[in-house]
Structure 1
Amino acid sequence: MLRSIGAIALGFLVIGCLAFGTDAAIRSTVPQHFGAGGRLDDVGLLLLTQLYVFVYATFGCWLTARLAPSRPMRHALILGALGLAFNVAGTIAMWDTAPAWYHVVALALVMPAAWLGGWLRERQLARGAGQLAAA
């Protein structure tokens, strides 16, 4: 149980650190694209943000699945559900910082990223089992 909690917590922290770190780097690199109150309307930067957050979330969920003592997909999806809850709260709190479509897409991508991370780990395990059986 403790190992499961640790795997989920570590995945959550990795995603958060990578996403917030990249956000900070972008804000300091191109501050002219951010309006009053930090609002971002630049479609290119918004799409870039969606992309890197999706990649980070997939990686974090894969990491959680990798560290999970059993049922990797279940652990990845639990992290996804936790991430979705935090994203809903963040979306409500920061609704005015981006166009509505951005928030809707961000919320819609959380669980697919979690599933993909879990699936990648399960695929690794299946390949490993197949290689062991062939040996």
Structure 2
Amino acid sequence: MGRSILAIVVGFVLTGALNVGTNTVLSRIAPEMVPPPGTPNTNTAALIGICAYVALYGVLGCYVTARLAPSRPLLHALILGALALAMSIPMTLAVWNDTPAWFNVYNLLAVMPYAYLGGRIRERELARAGEGRLAAAS
């Protein structure tokens, strides 16, 4: 159970650190992309860019969790996704008026697909490795 918890914590911390780090850097070098908290952001191109890196980091974090999981990688990735979604809902509601509704809804709806994708990538790796071992044994 300890390795399962560790896998989820590592994926969570990694995803959070990447998102916060990217937001911090972008707020300094491109404040029009990530304005200060409480400042509305209606720059569609910037919001699509944010969606892109949030997707990348979400899938990556869930993949790392799945890779570190002692068993059932997809389940671990989905648990991380559920945890992220549970934390995202109040955070999104708190800043709802700072961004367009499509951005907020998309980011909430996309959390679990990112988790699924990260876990499935790991499952496919394991399946390929198992096929390779079977071929080598014959």
TM-score tier by shorter-chain length is over 0.9
Q: Using a 3 Å threshold, how does the CA distance of structure 1 residues 35 and 42 change in structure 2: closer, same or farther?
A: farther
User: Aligned partners of 1:120, 1:19: CA distance in 2, in Å?
Assistant: 21
Q: Deviations over 1:2-49 (max 9, x none)?
A: 110000011000000001111111111122453782321100110000
TM-superposed CA distance for 1:96, in Å, is: 1.9
Q: What letter is aligned with 1:54? A: A
| Cα distance change, pair 36–25 in 1 and its aligned pair in 2 (3 A) | closer
TM-aligned CA deviation for residue 97 of structure 1: 1.8
Instruction: Tell me the distance in 1 between the aligned counterparts of 2:37 and 2:80.
Output: 33
1:90 matched residue in structure 2: 91
Mapped to 2, the partners of 1:37 and 1:11 lie a distance apart of 28
Q: Could you tell me which residue of structure 2 aligns to residue 123 of structure 1?
A: 124
Corresponding position of 1:104: 105
Distance 1:120 1:39, change over 3 A: same
Bigger drift between 54-63 and 26-35 goes to: 26-35
User: Structure 1 residue 49 and structure 2 residue 50: aligned?
Assistant: yes
- What residue identity is the alignment partner of 1:24? T
Structure with more helix by fraction: 1
Task: Give me the whole-angstrom Cα distance separating, in 2, the residues matched to 1:36 and 1:112.
Answer: 27
CA contact (8 A) 2:59 2:115 kept: yes
CA distance in 1, matches of 2:37, 2:8: 35
Q: What does 1:11-90 correspond to in 2, within 5 Å?
A: 11-33=11-33, 34=35, 37-90=38-91
Task: Count residues with an aligned counterpart.
Answer: 135
Over 3 Å counting, the alpha-carbon distance change for 1:114 and 1:134 in structure 2 is: same
Q: 1: distance between equivalents of 2:102 and 2:21?
A: 23
Gaps of 5+ in 1: none
Could you say what the CA RMSD is over the residues aligned between the two structures, in angstroms?
Answer: 1.3
